Chains A and B, each alone.
Chain A
Amino acid sequence: MAADTMARTSVLKVEKLTKHFGQVTALDAIDFEVAEGEILAVVGESGSGKSTLARTILRLLDASSGRILYRGKDLLGLSAGGMRATRRHIQMIFQDPYASLHPRRTVFELVSEPWRVHASVAPRREWPHRVAALLEQVGLPQSYASLYPARLSGGERQRVAIARALALRPDLLILDEPVSALDVSIQAQVIKLLMTLQQEIGFTSIFISHDLALVRLIADKVIVMNRGRIVEQGPTQAIFDYPRDDYTRLLLASSPELGEETTAEKQEA
């Protein structure tokens, strides 16, 4: 599996990425690489710098130093215009779908908004047809196109956010805890949808989460973060079965679903 990963082209390579907020070091020399079609999970407790990492990669926050190479191009070296054009290929889905959708815009306007910004992707006359196809893809009825987000449930809103992110056919999708604001019963549906879409479309993704059971299920590689540092990274199986770092062990033990499972497995072995 490792050899297989090596052979694939790198989509995103982060080198020595550092971010300071005044005295606080939110990201401390982060290094990692994501290959095409991979799902990379970033785990860690609240405040460990997971969301800061996502926002710094997208240049929503300014990095203090380091390099972010997207297909060989350093994102930190791009001009404002160049970055805006590159954003087409890197999309993000935010944690809270109650906050990430503009309240005064209908579902149709929300989903077609990306084409307004990147006009070359879809000419205006194709919008209705394309929005219909996207809504179908994320499992929402066509009648929702004219509704405002206030009318939708959390799960439905997150589906709208997913449709909007997919509107530009991104190469890399950053998912910042995409289901943690949703009901448990809805979480499974949205994750299943994301996995189906990932198989259909084949985008690369960075999946930020603190749900370790879920990460174990879907991720190819895992990064464990603590206080702005990567304490351990590697293939999912290796991290979960043979954690080398103390913090990773602590994290695994404190996960209610995993704690017993891993100890049970070890006893068997």
Chain B
Amino acid sequence: MATQSLTLTPPRRRIAADSRLGLLLRSPVALLSALVLVFLLLVAVIGAPLLQDLANTQNLRLRFFHPFSLERGWAYVLGADALGRPMLAQLIVGARTSFLVAGATVALAATIGTTLGMVSGYIGGVMDAALMRISDIIVTVPSLLLALSVLFVLEPSIVNLILVLAVARLPIYLRVSRAQTLEIRERVFVEASRALGKGAGSIIWRDIRPLVVPTVMTVAMLEIASVMLAAAGLSFLGVGLQRPDVDWGTIVSEGREYLTRAWWATVFPGLAILITALAANLLSNWMRASGDPLQAAVMGATASREEAARP
């Protein structure tokens, strides 16, 4: 037989990534969302250290300075707050903290929650029951109250804020991933993997995880917005971030008092949260769809290329 001459290159991961980038370039909404997020991240990372001092500079003569005027330079183009601090500079500095808190919280909660959820769903038994009851307890206690009491006892710092929010958000990931795992583990391909001799760890990591992660990613992207708001709520109650640390939530709650006199102090940070949340949602939706071969075929032109290659 001519088997000797047969050579076959294994499919490269990079090719898959390339075609996914291609898919992103062809989807205008997803591309725009990704660009907005990348832009905001860059502004937060590069701009924040440069504008740190300016953002905290008070100038009482510029109290409630009107937006859309270049009289005082670019920093004041979005107006100033009750203490005459430039809004634009504050937004940029706040962006870094908001992204840091929301991103770290979601990453921490999603990683731990999903791992526990998959193991609990696949193995079941006593551990599953115990984890689910703990998660029930966390859900029963209002997350704001939990965060409030913990941060009241501990010192309110960024690390503590992230830890407390992550614990409060854990049950969502735990339940989503467990529910999915319960469904996936009954599928025939998992049975086929067991017939092949795979252990529980390998089945969870290689068979179940690839199908759970897209759902969790969608949830996580949605959660970024609510974590930002939760952090804002805590800042508003005085146990969240303390000046000079500032995030968008802090700015919204500070501006709220003067809403009738200076709408810009609330609306601009609010808009920033809204745009970030919207972009994150749209992108997460696209990620889920493009990760699914069936939907990707409908969405992209790569499908027709593969179809053409088929004899």
Instruction: Tell me if chain B binds chain A.
Output: yes
Taking beta carbons and an 8 Å cutoff, which residues of A are in contact with B? Answer: 55, 58, 60, 83-85, 87-88, 91-92, 94, 96, 99-104, 106, 108-109, 112-114, 117-118, 127-129, 131-133, 135-136, 141-143, 145-148, 150-151, 161
Contact between chains at B197 and A87 (CB < 8 Å) = yes
Instruction: Name the contact of A128 in the complex, choosing from B8, B188, B211, B307 (C-beta under 8 A).
Output: B8
Determine the chain B residues whose CB is within 8 A of the CB of A102 once the complex forms: 189, 193, 207, 210
Nearest Cβ in chain B — how far from A201, in angstroms? 13
Contact between chains at B311 and A142 (CB < 8 Å) = no
Contact pattern, B 206-218, Cβ under 8 Å of A = 1, otherwise 0: 0100110000000
Contact between chains at A136 and B3 (CB < 8 Å) = yes
Q: Which B-chain residue is minimally distant from A61 (CB atoms)?
A: B191
Contact pattern, B 1-23, Cβ under 8 Å of A = 1, otherwise 0: 10100111111000000000000
Interchain residue pairs A-B with the least CB separation, the first 9: A87-B197, A99-B188, A132-B8, A132-B6, A146-B11, A84-B197, A133-B3, A128-B8, A148-B293
Nearest Cβ in chain A — how far from B247, in angstroms? 37
- With contacts A96-B188, A150-B294, A151-B310 taken as known, whether A129 is within 8 angstroms of B7 at the C-beta atoms is yes
Determine the chain A residues whose CB is within 8 A of the CB of B8 once the complex forms: 108, 128-129, 131-132, 135, 142, 145
Instruction: Name the contact of A87 in the complex, choosing from B187, B189, B195, B306 (C-beta under 8 A).
Output: B195
Q: Does B309 contact A (CB under 8 A)?
A: yes
Nearest Cβ in chain B — how far from A31, in angstroms? 23
CA distance A118 to B197 in the complex (A): 8
Q: Which A-chain residue is minimally distant from B209 (CB atoms)?
A: A104
Instruction: Name the contact of B195 in the complex, choosing from A85, A91, A146 (C-beta under 8 A).
Output: A91
Contact between chains at A141 and B197 (CB < 8 Å) = no
Determine the chain A residues whose CB is within 8 A of the CB of B310 once the complex forms: 143, 147, 151
Determine the chain B residues whose CB is within 8 A of the CB of A85 once the complex forms: 197
Contact between chains at A132 and B293 (CB < 8 Å) = no
Q: Does B199 contact A (CB under 8 A)?
A: yes
Contact between chains at B195 and A60 (CB < 8 Å) = yes
Determine the chain B residues whose CB is within 8 A of the CB of A58 once the complex forms: 195
Q: How large is the interface on B (under 10, 10 to 19, 20 to 34, 35 or more residues)?
A: 20 to 34
Contact between chains at A151 and B311 (CB < 8 Å) = no
CA distance A220 to B187 in the complex (A): 32
Contact between chains at B311 and A145 (CB < 8 Å) = no
- With contacts A99-B189, A113-B196 taken as known, whether A104 is within 8 angstroms of B211 at the C-beta atoms is yes
- With contacts A100-B192, A101-B189, A104-B210 taken as known, whether A150 is within 8 angstroms of B297 at the C-beta atoms is yes
CA distance A118 to B192 in the complex (A): 15
CA distance A117 to B192 in the complex (A): 12
Determine the chain B residues whose CB is within 8 A of the CB of A112 once the complex forms: 10
CA distance A151 to B297 in the complex (A): 9
Instruction: Name the contact of B9 in the complex, choosing from A113, A128, A147 (C-beta under 8 A).
Output: A128
Contact between chains at B10 and A108 (CB < 8 Å) = yes
Q: Which B-chain residue is minimally distant from A142 (CB atoms)?
A: B8
Determine the chain B residues whose CB is within 8 A of the CB of A83 once the complex forms: 197
Contact between chains at B196 and A143 (CB < 8 Å) = no
Determine the chain B residues whose CB is within 8 A of the CB of A92 once the complex forms: 192, 195
Q: Which A-chain residue is minimally distant from B190 (CB atoms)?
A: A102
Determine the chain A residues whose CB is within 8 A of the CB of B10 once the complex forms: 108, 112, 127-128, 131, 145
Q: Which A-chain residue is minimally distant from B211 (CB atoms)?
A: A104
CA distance A148 to B16 in the complex (A): 12
Instruction: Name the contact of A136 in the complex, choosing from B6, B9, B188, B192 (C-beta under 8 A).
Output: B6
Determine the chain B residues whose CB is within 8 A of the CB of A136 once the complex forms: 1, 3, 6
Determine the chain B residues whose CB is within 8 A of the CB of A129 once the complex forms: 3, 6-8
Instruction: Name the contact of B11 in the complex, choosing from A91, A133, A145 (C-beta under 8 A).
Output: A145
Instruction: Name the contact of B293 in the complex, choosing from A60, A104, A118, A141 (C-beta under 8 A).
Output: A104
CA distance A34 to B210 in the complex (A): 39
Determine the chain A residues whose CB is within 8 A of the CB of B72 once the complex forms: none
- Chain B, range 266-311, C-beta contacts under 8 Å to A: 293-294, 297, 306-307, 309-311
